[in-house]
Structure 1
C-alpha cells in the first residue's frame, strides 16, 4: 500500500511514517498543508491519503476541502481523515457524497496500531470507517419527534452503529457475539424498517448509515 501523509505537525507525521514502515507500508510523500497534499496526490497517485482535518493557514476545514478535491479529481485515492476532536458535522458532509474509500478517526486511535492499520486497509480497499466515539456521540443524542430509525430495537441499533464504523458482518458478529446469519437477519430488519428496498448491498448499507447519522446529527 502506498500512502501520503498530510499534517502540519512534523512530529506526528514522522511517528506515523515510522509506524507504517514497521508494518510494511510505503509512505510516498508528506505534506504540511492542503496545497502541498494535492500536489503530492497528483504526482504520486497513492492508494490512500491520511489527512489532518485542521491544517494551515486557518486550521479549520482545509483537510475537509482537500479530501473533497481528492475524492472528485483522484477517485482512485482513498482518504482517511484524522482529527483531534469529534467533528461529526464534517463526517456527515463528506458521507453525503458516498462513503466508499473514506474514513474518519480521532488521532488518539492511531496509538492502537492494529486498529489503525486495519482501518487503513479497509478504507484503501474501498470500504469506510467512522470513529466509534463519533458514532457513540450521535447515538446518545435525544431528538424530538418519531422517525423510522426510532423503530429499531436496541440490538439493531448496535448492529447499525457497527455498520457505521465500516465493520463487516463477520466483524459485527464477533463484536456482539452473534452468528453471521443472525447479523444478516438484523441487517435485513434494519433495511426493512428504514424503508431501504432491494438494491446493491453496499449501497443499502451506506444509505442505512446515512440515515443513522442524519437522525443523530444536530
Structure 2
C-alpha cells in the first residue's frame, strides 16, 4: 500500500519507514508536522496515513485534527493515529465520521510488529483497528452507564471485540464460538442499544459510536 507518515520523533519516524519498506509498502512521505501531512495527503492521495496525535507546534491535538480533516476531505484514504496514552475523547472524535478505514493505536503497540501491520491491513481493507487497551479503558469508564449495563458478559465481550475492529469471523476465532453465536450476540447488543434498521446506516458503526459516547 501507499503510505504517508507524520511523526515528530525522528527515531520512530525512521523506524516506521524502514519497517514499511521492508514489508513491501511504498512510503510516499515521512513528515514531522501536521501541516505538511495535510498538504501531502491532498496532493498525493495515499492509501493510508499514519499520524501521531500530538505534533508541533503545540504538541496537543494537531495530528488528530489533521486526521479528522483527512477523513472528511479524502474518505478513500485510511487513517491510523498513534497516541502515547489512552485519550477517550480523541477516540470518539476520530470515529465520529464512522468506523471505516480508521484506527487508533497506542505507540507501545507499534513495537508489536505483527499487530501493527495487521491494523494497517484491516484499515486498508475498509475496517477499523482500535487498540485493546483503549477498549479496556472505555469499559472502565462506561461500567455504570446505560444502556451498556443491560449487556450480558458475553455480549460485552463481543462488542469490545467489535470496537477493536474485528470481523465476525475474527471474533468467533478469538472467543472460540461459532459465527452464528457471534451474530446472535451482536443482534442482542443492537437491540439493547436500541439501534434501528434504518436504511443507509450500519448498526455495527452505530454500536461502536454508542459505546464510545456512553
TM-score with structure 2 setting the length:
0.95
Q: Partner of 2:122 in structure 1?
A: 122
CA contact (8 A) 1:49 1:78 kept: yes
- 5 Å-filtered alignment, 1:131-210, equals 131-141=131-141, 144=144, 147-199=146-198, 203-210=202-209
CA contact (8 A) 1:149 1:211 kept: no
Change (3 A) 1:200 1:130: farther
The reply on whether 1:93 has 2:96 as its aligned counterpart is no
Change (3 A) 1:201 1:183: farther
- Counterpart CA distance in 1 for 2:191 and 2:40 is 44
Secondary structure of the structure 1 residue equivalent to 2:141:
coil
CA contact (8 A) 2:21 2:27 kept: yes
Change (3 A) 1:41 1:95: same
Contiguous gaps of at least 5 residues in structure 1: none
1:20-64 Cα deviation digits (max 9, x unpaired): 112111111111001111111122110000000000000000001
CA displacement at 1:149 relative to structure 2: 1.8
Secondary structure of the structure 2 residue equivalent to 1:140:
helix
- Counterpart CA distance in 2 for 1:149 and 1:199 is 21
CA displacement at 1:75 relative to structure 2: 1.6
Change (3 A) 1:94 1:209: same
CA contact (8 A) 1:152 1:193 kept: yes
Change (3 A) 1:136 1:201: farther
CA contact (8 A) 1:96 1:210 kept: yes
CA displacement at 1:94 relative to structure 2: 2.0
Count of matched residue positions in the alignment of Structure 1 and Structure 2: 214
Alignment root-mean-square deviation, CA:
1.6
Q: Partner of 2:57 in structure 1?
A: 57
Q: Partner of 2:79 in structure 1?
A: 79
Task: Return structure 1 stretches of 4+ with deviation > 6 angstroms.
Answer: none
Change (3 A) 1:121 1:174: same
